[in-house]
Amino acid sequence: MATVIFDWDGTIAESGEGITRSVQYALDTVGIKVPDLSDLTHFIGPPLRVEFKKTYGMSDEDIEKAITAFRARYESEGIFECRLYPGIEDVIRDCVDRFGMSIAVASSKTDYQLHRLVKHFGLDSLFDVVRGATPDAERPGHGVPGKSNKAVVIEETLSHLEMKYGELIRIEDTYMIGDTAYDMEGAEMQGIHGVGVTYGYGSRNALEEYGAENIVNSVDELYSYLSSLT
């Protein structure tokens, strides 16, 4: 049985508006003005803490303040400023109904946010596992050298799939579908196949650099690729 783990932002959902508007609001609370939302698209997908530090060199205090502001704005209105990519729901449904796959979704979003979105779009009955991130301080093993937040989420997703299906989940038949380097890096660390999508928010160069075994350029190409696995 093939197993497919989907990323959410930039893979299933076109969620840029809600995230970038919420990041813009969060930055404003610490005195950083970014008027053009297109300058904030790199925040879509990766952990916020990493991007705030890498992009602006923010202090730990300002990072915490910005994350609190982001969550307040995002959870009140930004979370539903998104839409599914056209055709992706058919891909997900056919993975289950036609191809007989086990499927999951793994995201750097908080677990609470991810479950809200999956349920909102009526996809909750399709996924065997829905796994988001937990706040850093609450995550056992957080801060393991060389392991990103997304890599930990992918590891946890695999663990839950294995608890549910046991030996039916085989690493050699497991695929991570995502649009960022974090998805490909996490897949490689778990020894599963990394499949990059370029219709999201990451770049082809980054996907290739971090080990994507295959790259697709559209939802239609993704469907064709997944159907070839059966």
Distance (Å, whole) CA 139 – CA 132: 11
Q: Coil, strand or helix: which one is 133?
A: strand
Q: Can you give the C-alpha Rg of the chain in angstroms?
A: 17
7 is catalytic: yes
Burial 199-212 (b: 16+ CB within 10 A, else e): bbbbeeebbeebbb
Nearest to 68 by CA among 116, 25, 104, 15: 25
User: What's the rounded Cα separation, in Å, for the pair 70 and 23?
Assistant: 6
Give the separation between CA 88 and CA 90, rounded to whole angstroms.
Answer: 5
Catalytic residue (one of 7, 9, 128, 183): 7
List active site positions: 7
